[in-house]
Amino acid sequence: MEEQPSKTIADETGWSEANVRVILHRGRKNMLAAVNQLMLKELKTI
């Protein structure tokens, strides 16, 4: 599903386009938080 328009993902999953965008936004937000935590943890060990 990489680099697919939200319309294509919505058609394949049966979700609305708005729901697809919300889920992707939340996923990116959670991933950024996880990366930031790992970076902070790594910096503390230096």
| 34 found inside a domain | yes
pLDDT higher than threshold 80 for residue 38 = yes
Asked if 20 and 13 count as a contact pair (C-beta separation under 8 A), the reply is yes
Average pLDDT over residues 26-45: 96
Q: What pLDDT shows up at residue 2?
A: 80
| 20 found inside a domain | yes
Query: Domain containing 24: what range?
Result: 6-44
Can you tell me the distance from the alpha carbon of 1 to that of 20, in angstroms, rounded to the nearest whole number?
12
In the chain, the number of structural domains is: 1
Average pLDDT over residues 3-11: 95
Average pLDDT over residues 14-33: 97
Single pTM value for the model: 0.78
| 1 found inside a domain | no
| 10 found inside a domain | yes
| Dihedral over Cα of 8, 12, 14, 15: its sign | negative
Distances (CA, A) of 17 to 8, 11, 23: 9, 8, 10
